[in-house]
Amino acid sequence: MGFFCIGKITSTHGIRGTVKVFPTTDDVKRFELLKEVIFDLNGKKETFTVNKVAYQKNMVLLTVKEIDDINVAEKYRGASILIPDDKALPLEENEYYTRDLYDMEVYTTDGVHLGKIDDIFFTAANDVYVVKRDDKPKNDILIPAIKECIIDVNVKENKMTVKLLEGMM
């Protein structure tokens, strides 16, 4: 069974064991749909029952049933918040999970192989895919995740087809 990371514990909030979570999911309200979450700290996974979800600026305040003390909560600072794959929100048409894009083969509309997606930058405007080139390893290509550039994403075939705009190479 696989997992999705939907956030990272950054600190505690108050004295009753609430943790502050930096969300790594597109839909921050998805925390409200969860009955359980998994804290993953250095590979050690523990399941907790969600008691309360609140929001503060860009953070999620998460209270779990099993932790009611700041000193216990502090031990989970830096932990990832995971959910099992089967608890992920369903995808709409032309949507895909970011994790499925890493190492995806990237081709131009002319069939030229550019390389593999090595990294993804998340910006306010749009994501940017970093394509590590086979032929020129020190010259990565940055491709904005916009419909003018991303022509097709086929997760099953691990293939992305792109249209490069002027100056991208």
66-83 tens-digit pLDDT: 999 999 999 999 999 999
Quick one: pLDDT at residue 90?
73
Q: Global pTM?
A: 0.66
Q: Where in the chain is the domain with CATH 2.40.30.60?
A: 3-87
Neighbours of 98 (CB within 10 A): 15
Confidence of residue 137 (pLDDT cuts 50, 70, 90): low
- The class of domain 100-162 in CATH terms is mainly beta
Confidence of residue 116 (pLDDT cuts 50, 70, 90): very high
The CA-based angle 32-155-22, given to 5 degrees, is 30
Distance of CA 24 to the CA centre of its chain: 5
- Answer whether CATH 3.40.50.620 is correct for domain 3-87: no
The Cα–Cα gap between 159 and 143 comes to 15
